[in-house]
Amino acid sequence: MSALIHKTAFAAAGPQAEWILPLAGRVRDLGREIGLPNIAVAADISSPEPMLGPDGRPLAETVFEWIDPKLEYWKDRGFALRAPFVLASRYTAEPFFYTGGRFATWRPAPRLESIPVRSAAESFGVGAAVIAPAHLPGGVIGSVVWAGTASRPDLPQVFAERAAELHYAVLRLMAAYHEDAGGPPVRLTRREIQCLKWAAAGKTDQEIGQIIHVAHATVRFHLQNAAVKLGASGRAQTLHRASALGYIGMPRQAGAPGA
């Protein structure tokens, strides 16, 4: 099975299992230190399954607690699609905070700041929060929300002093949770990457061959080799997995993909 396929609904096991509870405990303790003791956690925001401990129980029940114990968000399969904290985690790879009815971070972040959050935060009973996404290899995004019920005028200063520590704690927890020995790391050749980038830009094999001056059969050969290495079936899955591993970036400007 490809190492790119991550499972969230599993009891943490294997060589990393012993780290999960101490790392989760550290995340919990940091929340208490900064006065945001209520924690929501998602190991994979694309999955409705909860983050589990070594005993198979959700960490939301055994380590963390939320503001309203009746809001069992880890049992709500549509929660991630509705929560602005999760939406914002999809679009930023660094910590951010919520106070005064809006998201903010250490620098101007127009897209983050444009996400409506006040109404949802009030419905959850959240007056202030710090959110730390964890963007992991393979395209998985985990996220932790530390929250409190009261507004926190001091939160920007607390964030400035503690954001790096909070983020590191989340990265360690998520990385250990998703650790998968799998097979050896995938290494693509320059030509395979070049063909994949043009394929991602919507070019056919024949068009790619004309662009890079090789026969279209040669293009197909490179794309098939890439698929085998990535454990993928079909063009779409090959492109997805290559993108998740950082072989295909998103061009900042229209034009030829980098090679």
| The predicted structure's pLDDT at residue 186 | 87
| Total domains present in the chain | 2
148 and 39 in a single domain? The answer is yes
22 and 131 in a single domain? The answer is yes
Amino acid identity of residue 89, one-letter, is: S
Q: How far is CA 6 from the centre of its chain?
A: 12
Q: At what angle do helices 190-200 and 235-244 cross, to 10 degrees?
A: 110
| Of the candidates 189, 212, 208, 188, the residue with the CA atom closest to the CA atom of residue 198 | 208
| The predicted structure's pLDDT at residue 70 | 86
161 and 205 in a single domain? The answer is no
Residue-wise DSSP of 106-142:
SS--HHHHTS--HHHHHHHT-SEEEEEEEE-TTS-EE
CA-to-CA dists, residue 240 to 34, 227, 248, angstroms: 39, 10, 9
224 and 144 in a single domain? The answer is no
Report how far apart the first and last C-alpha atoms of the chain are (Å, whole number): 29
Domain boundary among 177, 199, 219: 177
Residue-wise DSSP of 22-57:
HHHHHHHHHHHHTT--EEEEES-TT--SPPB-TTSS
User: Is residue 226 one of the residues assigned to a domain?
Assistant: yes
**pLDDT (tens digit, 0 to 9) for every residue of the chain, 259 residues total?**
333 434 444 455 555 678 999 999 999 999 999 999 999 999 999 988 999 999 999 999 999 999 998 888 888 877 877 899 999 999 999 999 999 999 999 999 999 999 999 999 999 999 999 999 999 988 899 999 999 999 999 999 999 999 999 999 999 999 999 887 566 888 999 999 999 999 999 999 999 999 999 999 999 999 999 999 999 999 999 999 999 888 997 655 545 565 5
70 and 156 in a single domain? The answer is yes
207 and 134 in a single domain? The answer is no
User: Is residue 182 one of the residues assigned to a domain?
Assistant: no
| The predicted structure's pLDDT at residue 128 | 98
| The predicted structure's pLDDT at residue 139 | 87
106 and 173 in a single domain? The answer is yes
User: Is residue 147 one of the residues assigned to a domain?
Assistant: yes
Give me the CATH number covering residue 114.
3.30.450.80
154 and 101 in a single domain? The answer is yes
Domain boundary among 121, 150, 177: 177
216 and 168 in a single domain? The answer is no
| Greatest pairwise CA separation for the chain in angstroms | 65
148 and 236 in a single domain? The answer is no
Q: State which residues form the domain around 198.
A: 190-244
User: Is residue 42 one of the residues assigned to a domain?
Assistant: yes
Cα(140)–Cα(143) distance, rounded to whole angstroms? 10
| The predicted structure's pLDDT at residue 14 | 52
User: Is residue 185 one of the residues assigned to a domain?
Assistant: no
What is the radius of gyration, based on Cα positions, of the chain?
21
Give me the CATH number covering residue 226.
1.10.10.10
153 and 239 in a single domain? The answer is no
User: Is residue 148 one of the residues assigned to a domain?
Assistant: yes
User: Is residue 259 one of the residues assigned to a domain?
Assistant: no
Domain boundary among 153, 177, 201: 177
Taking the C-alpha atoms of 69, 72, 74 and 77 in order, what is their torsion angle to the nearest 10 degrees? -160
165 and 49 in a single domain? The answer is yes
User: Is residue 165 one of the residues assigned to a domain?
Assistant: yes
174 backbone dihedrals φ, ψ, rounded to 5°: -70, -40
